[in-house]
Chain A
């Protein structure tokens, strides 16, 4: 697999605080990589180091084979990014904002600017001042700005932050499109699994500055047979039902319901034995445990360290 970006033993201290701890990570060409972690985990700090806004205390980041420490210009040339919010010059029009960044890299023609405007669907508003844009529009202008120079790596810090569901879906669609059609590697960060699960190929879980694990999203979705499911049973009487399902690991108990872990194969058996015991079944709810659970298993309580 081709590597687009590699983080090697990256550490960051600010004052006495050890903010990023020995981060090792490879981003493959053309993949969408999610950086998932609670507030204060170190996602933004990591991204700032990737683009050279912050210096790392030790370690290195290689972008397309160029070290961001030693060969900054050649490394950053391959990167387009939005760090935290998509901040634009409010007194400049959308077009002038893009023109501003286009001037900073040789070889970006006006046609290319039109092209990215088209790509993010901002044609109508491009002459308006960016200060009048909605958050969604600014997010798009931010993505347009990041794509101007055809980077091979696109970094978006919390791209779904503050967007409505339609906006999130749209972002998801063109991130996938970029990865699949233009072979761009995309790094997205988020503190909500549900918002990035559907667009990522892999997700790295980060907490307190440590990379806890990297999960393959496809794996956990494809492997239907053996996936653990949470089965929530709304039954009466609850006590007797609990005895019957006691052979399954219990995840949680509600006032009228119980949730157990089981595979798809086992669900009919559970229902059959409940029916045979004359237990009233009002509702059976099946959910994939998959990443969501792995996520919470890993990070535990969503606390800010």
Chain B
């Protein structure tokens, strides 16, 4: 255990001494700021206090939406959820809250794909760069098993993604508060669920969203890690992982007529399909099925990484 912590220290030292790591944080921060500015000047967002007349205003708005929802040939059916949510507000006398840091943070859960990208880059490099630099030869001639060294690298990748997610959450909250203010410590929000609109804690909602995105992130990072271990080349690991990340869901959508498509990883990684009023990509898929498929892929990725790293000669590096 002592030397495992030492290994983690080493990996984190190597990460934090590289400028590229800090550039990733800077990019994320700039994107969050940029999003806040856009949101701030956008008209569809109410940041001012809602007045006592809100029910009347909401009724008018809902009526407009209903009209579009039924008559506009392009937007037909698009607003069904929003109308239901508005009606729920009116019926239950829940005053809509103005846009604030919590909602900003919740929307920024989508930025976790940015974090996936960064984590893929880190995962791809953490093994491959030792080979590229030739330092692998000095790393592996210590009285520590290769398994332990590999594990320390993998844990470092996971830690990196957690810290990045935390960074996304905290900076979204801070920037959100500065731009839009904060509606208390744990406001509620009305969201669609399996049985219609429901009032839920926004904090819980954020937690769920970030958590669900985490699955995709970890799977892609582990995939990149495997390719990096297998081919000892970070370019290839980054290339294949990002390619799959962007095309995966599209490919699944194209193949969704075939029954076997449900065994493709990307048909399963988005667990949002089982949340709220989501619809599974392929009929008959269940949450349990998806979790099992994800687990199987995950184990395969790790075993392949391990075999490639521990069983092969270090030659010609």
Contact = CB atoms under 8 A, between A and B. Distances in A.
Contacts, number: 82
A90 B7 CA distance: 19
A185 to B, nearest CB: 16
A59 to B, nearest CB: 15
B307 to A, nearest CB: 14
A96 B17 contact: yes
Interface residues of B, number: 26
Interface centre among B2, B10, B133 (most CB of A within 10 A): B10
A88 interface: yes
25 contacts: A48-B313, A48-B315, A53-B313, A53-B314, A54-B313, A54-B315, A72-B145, A73-B144, A76-B142, A83-B138, A83-B141, A84-B134, A87-B133, A89-B14, A89-B17, A92-B14, A96-B13, A99-B13, A100-B14, A101-B138, A103-B3, A103-B9, A104-B6, A104-B7, A104-B10
A79 interface: yes
Nearest to A103: B6
Given A55-B313, A85-B134, A103-B7, 9 more contacts: A48-B313, A53-B140, A77-B143, A83-B141, A87-B134, A87-B135, A89-B14, A100-B10, A103-B9
Given A84-B134, A89-B133, A76 B141 contact: yes
B145 A81 contact: no
Interface string B7-30: 101100110011100000000000
A51 interface: yes
A221 B143 CA distance: 40
Contacts of B138: 82-83, 87, 101, 145
In this complex, the interface size class of chain A, counting residues with CB under 8 Å from chain B, is: 20 to 34
B149 to A, nearest CB: 9
A99 B10 CA distance: 9
Contact of A74 (B3, B17, B134, B143): B143
Contacts of A99: 13
A248 interface: no
A106 interface: yes
Contacts of A106: 2-3
A52 interface: yes
Contacts of A96: 13, 17
Contacts of A72: 143, 145
Contacts of B10: 100, 103-104
Interface string A9-27: 0000010000000000000
B145 A73 contact: yes
B137 interface: yes
Interface in A29-67: 45, 48, 51-55
A305 interface: no
Interface in A154-205: none
Contact of B137 (A45, A76, A83, A104): A83
A14 B133 contact: no
Contacts of A296: none
B141 A87 contact: no
Q: Which 5 A-B pairs have the closest CB atoms?
A: A87-B134, A103-B6, A73-B143, A53-B314, A104-B142
A135 to B, nearest CB: 14
A84 to B, nearest CB: 7
Contacts of A81: 141
Interface string B290-317: 0000000000000000000000011100
B137 A87 contact: yes
Interface in B104-151: 133-135, 137-145
Given A87-B137, A100-B10, A14 B17 contact: no
A29 B143 CA distance: 21
A104 B3 contact: yes
Contacts of A74: 143
A92 B145 contact: no
Contacts of A48: 313-315
A70 to B, nearest CB: 14
Contact of B17 (A54, A55, A92): A92
